[in-house]
A = this chain, B = another copy of it.
Amino acid sequence: MATVVIFGAGVMGTATAFPLTDNGHRVRLVGTHLDEEIIASVKTRGYHPTLRRPLPDGVTAYRYTELAEALQGADFLVSGVNSYGVRWAAETLASALTEALPIIAITKGLDSTADGDIVALTTVYEETLVSAGGPHCDVSGVGGPCIAGELAGRRQSCVVFASPTREQAEWFAGHFRTSYYHIWTTADLLGLEIAAALKNAYTLPVAIASGFLEREHGPDEANAQMHNLEAAVFGQGVSEIRYLLQVCGQPVQFAASLPGAGDYYVTCAGGRNMRFGRLLGSGKSMAQALQEMQGITIESLSIIAAMAAALPRLADRGAIDRARLPLLGHLIATVDSGRAEPFPLDRFFPDLC
Protein backbone atom coordinates (compact mmCIF):
# COMPACT_ATOMS: atom_id res chain seq x y z
CA MET A 1 0.00 0.00 0.00
CA ALA A 2 1.27 3.46 -0.87
CA THR A 3 1.70 6.63 1.12
CA VAL A 4 0.23 9.58 -0.75
CA VAL A 5 0.59 13.27 0.03
CA ILE A 6 -2.23 15.54 -1.12
CA PHE A 7 -0.85 19.08 -1.14
CA GLY A 8 -3.65 21.63 -0.95
CA ALA A 9 -6.81 20.81 0.99
CA GLY A 10 -9.40 22.26 -1.38
CA VAL A 11 -12.39 20.16 -2.39
CA MET A 12 -10.97 18.54 -5.51
CA GLY A 13 -7.61 17.52 -4.07
CA THR A 14 -9.23 16.23 -0.91
CA ALA A 15 -11.88 14.28 -2.82
CA THR A 16 -9.17 12.07 -4.31
CA ALA A 17 -8.55 10.80 -0.76
CA PHE A 18 -11.77 8.78 -1.04
CA PRO A 19 -10.73 6.40 -3.85
CA LEU A 20 -7.16 6.35 -2.50
CA THR A 21 -8.17 5.26 1.00
CA ASP A 22 -10.84 2.92 -0.38
CA ASN A 23 -7.91 1.19 -2.08
CA GLY A 24 -6.08 0.94 1.24
CA HIS A 25 -3.52 3.70 0.65
CA ARG A 26 -2.47 6.06 3.45
CA VAL A 27 -3.21 9.71 2.70
CA ARG A 28 -1.47 12.71 4.23
CA LEU A 29 -3.54 15.81 3.53
CA VAL A 30 -1.37 18.93 3.72
CA GLY A 31 -3.10 22.31 3.70
CA THR A 32 -1.61 25.46 2.25
CA HIS A 33 -1.55 28.69 4.26
CA LEU A 34 -5.05 29.33 2.85
CA ASP A 35 -6.36 26.03 4.27
CA GLU A 36 -5.70 26.60 7.98
CA GLU A 37 -9.36 26.39 8.98
CA ILE A 38 -9.91 23.25 6.95
CA ILE A 39 -6.86 21.52 8.41
CA ALA A 40 -7.83 22.51 11.94
CA SER A 41 -11.26 21.00 11.40
CA VAL A 42 -9.85 17.78 9.93
CA LYS A 43 -7.33 17.50 12.77
CA THR A 44 -9.85 18.04 15.56
CA ARG A 45 -12.94 16.27 14.26
CA GLY A 46 -12.05 14.58 10.96
CA TYR A 47 -14.53 16.79 9.09
CA HIS A 48 -13.83 18.74 5.88
CA PRO A 49 -15.93 21.92 6.07
CA THR A 50 -16.09 22.88 2.36
CA LEU A 51 -16.50 19.29 1.15
CA ARG A 52 -19.09 19.05 3.96
CA ARG A 53 -18.11 15.49 4.83
CA PRO A 54 -16.16 13.50 7.38
CA LEU A 55 -12.95 12.24 5.76
CA PRO A 56 -12.11 8.53 5.66
CA ASP A 57 -10.06 6.96 8.44
CA GLY A 58 -6.88 6.60 6.40
CA VAL A 59 -6.45 10.39 6.09
CA THR A 60 -4.09 12.34 8.37
CA ALA A 61 -4.06 16.14 8.22
CA TYR A 62 -0.95 18.34 8.26
CA ARG A 63 -0.47 22.10 8.38
CA TYR A 64 1.70 23.70 5.67
CA THR A 65 4.48 24.06 8.23
CA GLU A 66 4.50 20.26 8.47
CA LEU A 67 4.99 19.66 4.73
CA ALA A 68 8.51 18.23 5.04
CA GLU A 69 7.36 15.75 7.67
CA ALA A 70 4.40 14.70 5.51
CA LEU A 71 6.66 14.11 2.52
CA GLN A 72 8.84 11.59 4.37
CA GLY A 73 8.45 8.19 2.78
CA ALA A 74 5.75 9.36 0.37
CA ASP A 75 5.30 7.38 -2.85
CA PHE A 76 3.69 10.17 -4.83
CA LEU A 77 2.06 13.55 -4.49
CA VAL A 78 -1.35 14.83 -5.57
CA SER A 79 -1.17 18.56 -6.12
CA GLY A 80 -4.49 20.09 -5.16
CA VAL A 81 -3.70 23.80 -5.48
CA ASN A 82 -5.53 25.84 -8.09
CA SER A 83 -3.96 27.45 -11.15
CA TYR A 84 -3.08 30.65 -9.26
CA GLY A 85 -1.22 28.58 -6.67
CA VAL A 86 0.91 26.45 -8.97
CA ARG A 87 4.05 28.59 -8.92
CA TRP A 88 3.86 28.99 -5.15
CA ALA A 89 3.31 25.25 -4.70
CA ALA A 90 6.25 24.36 -6.95
CA GLU A 91 8.55 26.75 -5.11
CA THR A 92 7.42 25.45 -1.75
CA LEU A 93 7.91 21.86 -2.85
CA ALA A 94 11.35 22.72 -4.27
CA SER A 95 12.65 23.46 -0.79
CA ALA A 96 10.84 20.59 0.90
CA LEU A 97 11.61 17.77 -1.54
CA THR A 98 14.88 16.00 -0.99
CA GLU A 99 14.41 13.70 -3.99
CA ALA A 100 12.20 13.36 -7.06
CA LEU A 101 8.60 12.34 -6.41
CA PRO A 102 5.95 11.58 -9.04
CA ILE A 103 3.34 14.35 -8.97
CA ILE A 104 -0.19 14.34 -10.36
CA ALA A 105 -1.85 17.75 -10.46
CA ILE A 106 -5.61 18.26 -10.43
CA THR A 107 -5.08 21.90 -11.48
CA LYS A 108 -6.37 22.78 -14.91
CA GLY A 109 -4.52 25.55 -16.63
CA LEU A 110 -2.53 26.76 -19.59
CA ASP A 111 0.28 29.18 -20.13
CA SER A 112 2.09 30.37 -23.22
CA THR A 113 5.71 30.85 -24.20
CA ALA A 114 7.22 33.99 -25.74
CA ASP A 115 6.60 32.41 -29.16
CA GLY A 116 2.94 31.94 -28.32
CA ASP A 117 3.23 28.18 -27.93
CA ILE A 118 0.55 26.91 -25.61
CA VAL A 119 1.94 24.94 -22.69
CA ALA A 120 0.16 22.94 -20.03
CA LEU A 121 0.34 24.17 -16.46
CA THR A 122 1.88 20.80 -15.58
CA THR A 123 4.92 21.85 -17.64
CA VAL A 124 5.09 25.18 -15.80
CA TYR A 125 4.93 23.17 -12.58
CA GLU A 126 7.87 20.96 -13.59
CA GLU A 127 9.97 23.91 -14.75
CA THR A 128 9.27 26.02 -11.67
CA LEU A 129 10.26 23.13 -9.41
CA VAL A 130 13.63 22.87 -11.12
CA SER A 131 14.28 26.60 -11.44
CA ALA A 132 13.53 26.98 -7.72
CA GLY A 133 16.26 24.47 -6.99
CA GLY A 134 14.10 21.39 -6.55
CA PRO A 135 14.50 17.93 -8.14
CA HIS A 136 13.10 17.13 -11.57
CA CYS A 137 9.67 15.55 -11.07
CA ASP A 138 7.31 14.49 -13.81
CA VAL A 139 3.97 16.21 -13.32
CA SER A 140 0.92 14.34 -14.62
CA GLY A 141 -2.56 15.78 -15.13
CA VAL A 142 -6.23 14.86 -14.80
CA GLY A 143 -9.12 15.72 -17.10
CA GLY A 144 -12.72 14.72 -17.56
CA PRO A 145 -15.96 15.62 -15.81
CA CYS A 146 -15.52 15.30 -12.07
CA ILE A 147 -17.30 17.45 -9.51
CA ALA A 148 -15.39 16.97 -6.25
CA GLY A 149 -18.44 16.50 -4.06
CA GLU A 150 -19.67 13.66 -6.25
CA LEU A 151 -16.33 11.87 -6.23
CA ALA A 152 -16.25 12.20 -2.44
CA GLY A 153 -19.83 10.87 -2.40
CA ARG A 154 -18.58 7.85 -4.35
CA ARG A 155 -20.80 8.66 -7.32
CA GLN A 156 -19.83 7.12 -10.66
CA SER A 157 -17.16 9.36 -12.20
CA CYS A 158 -15.10 8.95 -15.38
CA VAL A 159 -11.79 10.77 -15.81
CA VAL A 160 -8.57 10.70 -17.83
CA PHE A 161 -5.06 10.67 -16.39
CA ALA A 162 -2.25 11.98 -18.59
CA SER A 163 1.47 11.46 -18.01
CA PRO A 164 4.58 11.82 -20.15
CA THR A 165 4.22 8.08 -20.79
CA ARG A 166 1.18 5.88 -20.86
CA GLU A 167 2.87 3.51 -18.41
CA GLN A 168 3.23 6.27 -15.84
CA ALA A 169 -0.41 7.29 -16.28
CA GLU A 170 -1.41 3.64 -15.76
CA TRP A 171 0.80 3.46 -12.66
CA PHE A 172 -1.06 6.40 -11.16
CA ALA A 173 -4.44 5.07 -12.31
CA GLY A 174 -3.75 1.75 -10.59
CA HIS A 175 -3.72 3.54 -7.23
CA PHE A 176 -6.97 5.42 -7.81
CA ARG A 177 -9.27 3.05 -9.72
CA THR A 178 -12.33 1.88 -7.79
CA SER A 179 -15.78 0.63 -8.69
CA TYR A 180 -16.94 4.27 -8.87
CA TYR A 181 -13.80 6.08 -10.13
CA HIS A 182 -13.17 5.02 -13.74
CA ILE A 183 -9.89 6.12 -15.27
CA TRP A 184 -8.66 6.23 -18.85
CA THR A 185 -5.01 6.99 -19.55
CA THR A 186 -3.13 8.86 -22.23
CA ALA A 187 0.34 10.18 -23.02
CA ASP A 188 -1.20 13.22 -24.78
CA LEU A 189 -0.76 15.42 -21.75
CA LEU A 190 -0.93 18.73 -23.60
CA GLY A 191 -4.11 17.70 -25.41
CA LEU A 192 -5.78 16.70 -22.18
CA GLU A 193 -4.78 19.97 -20.51
CA ILE A 194 -6.01 22.01 -23.49
CA ALA A 195 -9.42 20.34 -23.27
CA ALA A 196 -9.56 20.55 -19.47
CA ALA A 197 -8.50 24.18 -19.28
CA LEU A 198 -10.41 25.51 -22.26
CA LYS A 199 -13.68 23.98 -21.21
CA ASN A 200 -13.37 26.23 -18.14
CA ALA A 201 -12.83 29.28 -20.33
CA TYR A 202 -15.67 28.34 -22.68
CA THR A 203 -18.10 27.81 -19.82
CA LEU A 204 -18.04 31.55 -19.19
CA PRO A 205 -19.84 32.52 -22.44
CA VAL A 206 -22.47 29.80 -21.92
CA ALA A 207 -23.10 31.41 -18.56
CA ILE A 208 -23.16 34.87 -20.15
CA ALA A 209 -25.79 33.64 -22.64
CA SER A 210 -27.81 32.34 -19.73
CA GLY A 211 -27.39 35.70 -17.97
CA PHE A 212 -28.68 37.55 -21.04
CA LEU A 213 -32.09 36.18 -20.11
CA GLU A 214 -32.14 38.54 -17.16
CA ARG A 215 -31.23 41.47 -19.38
CA GLU A 216 -34.30 40.52 -21.45
CA HIS A 217 -36.37 40.67 -18.24
CA GLY A 218 -36.47 36.91 -17.74
CA PRO A 219 -38.63 34.30 -19.45
CA ASP A 220 -41.39 35.84 -21.57
CA GLU A 221 -45.14 35.29 -21.16
CA ALA A 222 -44.85 31.85 -22.83
CA ASN A 223 -41.79 30.95 -20.70
CA ALA A 224 -39.18 31.23 -23.48
CA GLN A 225 -35.71 30.91 -21.96
CA MET A 226 -32.27 31.38 -23.54
CA HIS A 227 -31.33 27.72 -24.07
CA ASN A 228 -30.98 27.98 -27.85
CA LEU A 229 -28.32 30.64 -27.50
CA GLU A 230 -26.56 28.76 -24.69
CA ALA A 231 -26.46 25.65 -26.87
CA ALA A 232 -25.11 27.54 -29.89
CA VAL A 233 -22.33 28.92 -27.70
CA PHE A 234 -21.67 25.44 -26.31
CA GLY A 235 -21.42 24.03 -29.85
CA GLN A 236 -19.03 26.77 -30.91
CA GLY A 237 -17.00 26.19 -27.74
CA VAL A 238 -16.57 22.48 -28.52
CA SER A 239 -15.67 23.37 -32.08
CA GLU A 240 -12.95 25.81 -30.95
CA ILE A 241 -11.53 23.29 -28.48
CA ARG A 242 -11.30 20.90 -31.42
CA TYR A 243 -9.54 23.51 -33.56
CA LEU A 244 -7.02 24.34 -30.83
CA LEU A 245 -6.26 20.65 -30.31
CA GLN A 246 -5.63 20.37 -34.04
CA VAL A 247 -3.40 23.45 -34.12
CA CYS A 248 -1.35 22.05 -31.23
CA GLY A 249 -0.98 18.66 -32.91
CA GLN A 250 -3.06 16.92 -30.25
CA PRO A 251 -5.83 14.30 -30.72
CA VAL A 252 -8.89 16.17 -32.06
CA GLN A 253 -11.17 13.35 -30.89
CA PHE A 254 -10.68 14.60 -27.32
CA ALA A 255 -13.09 17.44 -28.20
CA ALA A 256 -15.95 15.06 -29.04
CA SER A 257 -15.41 12.79 -26.05
CA LEU A 258 -14.92 12.71 -22.27
CA PRO A 259 -12.21 15.39 -21.89
CA GLY A 260 -13.87 17.95 -24.20
CA ALA A 261 -17.65 17.82 -24.58
CA GLY A 262 -18.13 15.65 -21.48
CA ASP A 263 -16.14 17.85 -19.12
CA TYR A 264 -17.58 21.03 -20.70
CA TYR A 265 -21.09 19.69 -20.10
CA VAL A 266 -20.59 19.17 -16.37
CA THR A 267 -18.90 22.53 -15.93
CA CYS A 268 -21.99 24.20 -17.41
CA ALA A 269 -24.15 22.43 -14.81
CA GLY A 270 -23.11 24.93 -12.14
CA GLY A 271 -20.23 26.23 -10.10
CA ARG A 272 -18.45 29.53 -9.68
CA ASN A 273 -17.67 30.03 -13.38
CA MET A 274 -21.37 29.83 -14.17
CA ARG A 275 -22.37 32.17 -11.35
CA PHE A 276 -19.77 34.71 -12.46
CA GLY A 277 -20.74 34.50 -16.14
CA ARG A 278 -24.43 34.90 -15.38
CA LEU A 279 -23.66 38.10 -13.49
CA LEU A 280 -21.78 39.42 -16.53
CA GLY A 281 -24.59 38.40 -18.86
CA SER A 282 -27.20 40.07 -16.69
CA GLY A 283 -25.46 43.38 -17.28
CA LYS A 284 -22.98 43.72 -14.43
CA SER A 285 -19.47 44.90 -15.24
CA MET A 286 -16.51 42.61 -14.63
CA ALA A 287 -15.61 44.65 -11.54
CA GLN A 288 -19.14 44.41 -10.12
CA ALA A 289 -19.33 40.68 -10.85
CA LEU A 290 -15.97 40.02 -9.20
CA GLN A 291 -17.10 42.00 -6.18
CA GLU A 292 -20.28 39.95 -5.90
CA MET A 293 -18.18 36.77 -6.06
CA GLN A 294 -16.39 38.03 -2.91
CA GLY A 295 -12.89 37.15 -3.92
CA ILE A 296 -13.62 33.58 -5.03
CA THR A 297 -11.08 32.48 -7.65
CA ILE A 298 -12.43 32.48 -11.22
CA GLU A 299 -10.04 30.08 -12.94
CA SER A 300 -11.42 30.74 -16.40
CA LEU A 301 -9.98 34.27 -16.24
CA SER A 302 -6.41 33.01 -15.95
CA ILE A 303 -6.97 30.71 -18.92
CA ILE A 304 -8.45 33.51 -21.00
CA ALA A 305 -5.45 35.68 -20.08
CA ALA A 306 -3.06 32.93 -21.19
CA MET A 307 -4.89 32.61 -24.50
CA ALA A 308 -4.99 36.40 -24.95
CA ALA A 309 -1.20 36.36 -24.70
CA ALA A 310 -0.77 33.38 -27.02
CA LEU A 311 -3.20 34.17 -29.86
CA PRO A 312 -1.55 37.25 -31.42
CA ARG A 313 1.82 35.48 -31.42
CA LEU A 314 0.37 32.33 -32.94
CA ALA A 315 -1.50 34.39 -35.54
CA ASP A 316 1.62 36.45 -36.36
CA ARG A 317 3.54 33.34 -37.32
CA GLY A 318 0.62 31.89 -39.23
CA ALA A 319 0.06 29.01 -36.80
CA ILE A 320 -3.63 29.80 -36.32
CA ASP A 321 -6.49 31.34 -38.26
CA ARG A 322 -8.25 33.66 -35.83
CA ALA A 323 -11.43 33.45 -37.91
CA ARG A 324 -11.73 29.91 -36.54
CA LEU A 325 -11.86 31.27 -32.98
CA PRO A 326 -14.61 33.92 -32.98
CA LEU A 327 -15.87 32.93 -29.52
CA LEU A 328 -12.44 33.03 -27.90
CA GLY A 329 -11.78 36.40 -29.56
CA HIS A 330 -15.09 37.70 -28.23
CA LEU A 331 -14.32 36.35 -24.78
CA ILE A 332 -10.94 38.07 -24.68
CA ALA A 333 -12.62 41.33 -25.76
CA THR A 334 -15.24 40.86 -23.04
CA VAL A 335 -12.60 40.50 -20.34
CA ASP A 336 -10.75 43.46 -21.86
CA SER A 337 -13.73 45.81 -21.91
CA GLY A 338 -15.23 44.44 -18.72
CA ARG A 339 -18.68 44.19 -20.33
CA ALA A 340 -20.52 41.29 -21.99
CA GLU A 341 -21.63 42.38 -25.47
CA PRO A 342 -23.85 40.32 -27.84
CA PHE A 343 -22.12 37.32 -29.41
CA PRO A 344 -20.85 37.61 -33.00
CA LEU A 345 -23.12 34.71 -33.99
CA ASP A 346 -22.77 35.22 -37.71
CA ARG A 347 -19.04 34.53 -37.42
CA PHE A 348 -19.67 31.27 -35.55
CA PHE A 349 -19.34 27.82 -37.15
CA PRO A 350 -16.89 28.49 -39.97
CA ASP A 351 -16.38 24.71 -39.84
CA LEU A 352 -19.90 24.24 -41.20
CA CYS A 353 -19.28 26.35 -44.30
Hey, which bits of chain A sit against chain B, CB under 8 A? Answer: 51-53, 144-147, 149-153, 155-158, 160, 182, 184, 186, 216, 220-232, 234-236, 238-239, 241-242, 252-263, 265-266, 268-270, 343, 345-346, 348-349, 351-353
With both chains docked as a complex, state the minimum distance between the C-beta of A41 and any C-beta of chain B, in angstroms.
Answer: 14
Whether the pair A269, B184 counts as a contact (CB closer than 8 A) is no
Query: Would you list the 7 A-B pairs with minimal beta carbon distance, nearest first?
Result: A235-B262, A153-B224, A145-B231, A231-B266, A158-B232, A157-B228, A235-B258
Give A220's nearest chain B residue, CB to CB.
Answer: B153
CB of A257 within 8 A of CB of B349, answer: yes
CB pair B222 A152 closer than 8 Å = yes
**B222 adjacent to A234 (CB under 8 Å):** no
> A352, B186: Cβ atoms under 8 Å?
yes
For residue A230, which residues in chain B have a CB less than 8 angstroms away from its CB?
A: 265-266, 269
In-complex Cβ contact of A224 among B149, B221, B241, B270 (8 A): B149
Interchain CB contact (< 8 A) of A265 among B160, B265, B353: B265
Known: A51-B222, A184-B352, A266-B230. A158 touches B258 (CB 8 A): no
A261 pairs with B238, CB closer than 8 A: yes
Q: Give A239 to B265 CA distance when docked, in angstroms.
A: 13
Contact A155 B257 (CB under 8 A): no
Contact B238–A256 (Cβ < 8 Å)? yes
Q: Can you list 7 A-B contacts with CB-CB less than 8 angstroms, sorted by A residue number?
A: A145-B228, A145-B235, A158-B232, A236-B258, A255-B256, A257-B351, A265-B265
Known A-B contacts A150-B224, A228-B150; A258 and B349 likewise in contact (beta carbons under 8 Å): yes
B260 touches A235 (CB 8 A): yes
In the complex, what distance in Å separates the CA atom of A160 from the CA atom of B223? 24
* Residues on the B chain within 8 Å of A260, using CB: 235, 238, 256
Does B234 lie within 8 Å of A147, measured CB to CB? no
A351: chain B residues within 8 A (beta carbon): 253, 257
Q: How many copies does the complex hold?
A: 2
Inter-chain contact B51/A229, CB cutoff 8 Å: no
Nearest chain B CB to A59's CB is how many angstroms away?
Answer: 16
Using Cβ atoms and an 8 Å threshold, which residues of chain B touch A345? 156, 158, 182
14 other A-B residue contacts (CB within 8 Å) besides A155-B225, A230-B269: A51-B222, A52-B223, A145-B228, A147-B224, A147-B228, A149-B223, A150-B226, A150-B227, A155-B226, A157-B229, A184-B349, A227-B270, A230-B265, A239-B258
* Residue of A155, A182, A254 most packed against chain B (CB within 10 A): A155
Asked if B257 and A352 make an inter-chain contact with CB atoms under 8 angstroms apart, the answer reads yes
Q: Considering the chains assembled together, what is the distance between the CA atoms of A259 and B256 in angstroms? A: 12
* Pairwise interchain contact A228-B265, C-beta atoms closer than 8 A: no
B residues near A51, Cβ cutoff 8 Å = 222
Cβ of B222 and Cβ of A153 under 8 Å apart?
A: yes
CB distance from A196 to the nearest CB of B (A): 13
Q: A229-B155, A229-B157, A256-B239 known; A222 and B149 CB under 8 Å?
A: yes
